[in-house]
Amino acid sequence: MCGAHAQIASAAELSIGLRLPGTTRRDVRDALWVDRTLVKTRGPRGTVHLLPAADLPMWLGALARLPVDPGLLSPAQTDEVVAAIADALATAELTSEELTAEVVARTGPWAGERVMDAFQDKWPRWMQALGVAAFRGALCHAPNKGRKTAYTSPARWLPGVAPAPDGAERLVEAYLRSYGPARPEDFARWFGAPRRWVDGVFARADVERCGDGFVVRGDDVFPADPPRGVWLLPYFDAFAVGCHPRAELFPGRAATRALARGQAGNYPVVLVDGVVAGVWHLRRSGRRVVVTVEVWDALSARRRRKLADRVDRVGEIVEGSAELVLAPVTVGPHA
């Protein structure tokens, strides 16, 4: 997978749980906040992901090399803010409001000017560097304080963590093991990087051509049998987001029903034999979990049994009692 998209925490828990038999959301949370084998931080496309802690040097080595749009901060101001964030979080877990006070105290009032457009509000100027701070290893998520997002330094939990000099090349190889054969433009879209920068990384990585794309050198043996089975993938699951070309994964009606202007991840999807064949939605009330599944072609009795098994597994992961409803999904994206 390389990582699990975690803007919606429950979706990340499902993405991981579906791949690890017996795993529940409690196990994922313990991996994050107790065992520290996962870290919650900015990953591909600058979005929040759960990443293996052991892979963080690779990720930082790749992310820290990305070209940065200065936006509302000059390069010098960006460096000053990142240093202030690193200092403030070295021994603390702070909310955005608490971190604002610490950054302003270390830099000056200009960092706290509310100039960033954000959800009918204005955020302070320093937050322009929030992603850069994560990319440079100065910041990651800590457990929420009540309902407020909190941050800390990854070095508190992973002493000595530092960007790997060959992190970008290692990340390309990890990506190709999960999603290859793939083209540089596919990686650029997945990672959120300029194509020219990606071409340079591919040229240095240990990869070779395979058809129209690339694979890690020697990793060119693929299963002879086509994919079989029924799966339920949550919002922004790595398989739906990372696989290209889109037309092969989202054929026919899936292209309009399960994509949003060509973007994958906005709807949980039903996979049948390796392609998107429907959408689904989860509604929870206490321990009761209702999973509504909309498929566009009739399922055989065997596939309906497999679908019921997948719904039961979703219930296990979210620690509830699940029931399957075959009906149109009437909610929109991100519902």
Question: Using one digit for the tens of pLDDT, what is the confidence trace for 5-48?
Answer: 999 999 999 999 999 999 999 999 999 999 999 999 999 999 99
CA dihedral over 68, 72, 76, 82, signed as positive or negative: negative
Asked whether residue 334 is assigned to any structural domain, the reply reads: no
Average pLDDT of the chain to the nearest whole number: 95
Same domain, 8 and 152: yes
| 229-261 residue pLDDT tens | 999 999 999 999 998 889 999 999 999 999 988
8 contact partners, CB below 8 Å, separation of at least 6: 234, 235, 236, 334
Which has more pLDDT, 116 or 161? 161
329/294 Cα distance (integer angstroms) = 6
Asked whether residue 50 is assigned to any structural domain, the reply reads: yes
Same domain, 144 and 194: no
The pLDDT value recorded for residue 45 is 93
Hey, is 89 helix, strand or coil?
helix
Burial 261-276 (b: 16+ CB within 10 A, else e): eeebbbbbbbbbeeeb
Asked whether residue 102 is assigned to any structural domain, the reply reads: yes
The pLDDT value recorded for residue 35 is 96
140/90 Cα distance (integer angstroms) = 11
Same domain, 25 and 71: yes
Same domain, 20 and 140: yes
CA 254 and chain centroid, separation = 22
- The residue whose two tokens read 């960092």 is 111
Same domain, 144 and 35: yes
User: How sure is the predictor about 60, in pLDDT bands with cuts at 50, 70 and 90?
Assistant: very high
Tell whether the model's pLDDT for residue 168 goes beyond 80. Answer: yes
Asked whether residue 161 is assigned to any structural domain, the reply reads: no
Tally of CA atoms within 13 A in the half-sphere of 27 that contains its CB: 15
User: For position 176, which CATH number holds?
Assistant: 1.10.10
Tell whether the model's pLDDT for residue 70 goes beyond 70. Answer: no
Asked whether residue 212 is assigned to any structural domain, the reply reads: yes
The pLDDT value recorded for residue 167 is 97
Q: What letter would DSSP give residue 314? A: H
| 285-295 residue pLDDT tens | 999 999 999 99
Query: The tokens of 77 are what?
Result: 């101001």
Say if CB 42 and CB 51 are below 8 A apart: no
The pLDDT value recorded for residue 296 is 96
pLDDT (mean) for 268-272: 97
The two beta strands, 4-5 and 269-272, are unpaired
Tell whether the model's pLDDT for residue 147 goes beyond 80. Answer: yes
Same domain, 12 and 152: yes
Same domain, 136 and 234: no
| 173-219 residue pLDDT tens | 999 999 999 999 999 999 999 999 999 999 999 999 999 999 999 99
pTM: predicted TM-score of the whole model, two decimal places:
0.94
Say if CB 270 and CB 18 are below 8 A apart: no
Same domain, 23 and 140: yes
Asked whether residue 63 is assigned to any structural domain, the reply reads: yes
pLDDT (mean) for 158-187: 96
Q: What letter would DSSP give residue 195? A: H
Same domain, 104 and 150: yes
Q: Domain tally for the chain? A: 3
User: How sure is the predictor about 335, in pLDDT bands with cuts at 50, 70 and 90?
Assistant: low
Same domain, 152 and 171: no
Q: What is the helix (H) or strand (E) element at residue 288, kind and residue range?
A: strand 288-295
216/185 Cα distance (integer angstroms) = 16
294 contact partners, CB below 8 Å, separation of at least 6: 270, 278, 279, 280, 326, 327, 328, 329
Radius of gyration (C-alpha) of the chain in whole angstroms: 21
Same domain, 317 and 199: no
In 115-253, where does DSSP find H-type helix? Answer: 130-135, 167-179, 184-191, 195-204, 238-242, 246-249
Range of the domain at 185: 167-216
- Percent over 90 (pLDDT), the chain: 90
Hey, is 122 helix, strand or coil?
strand
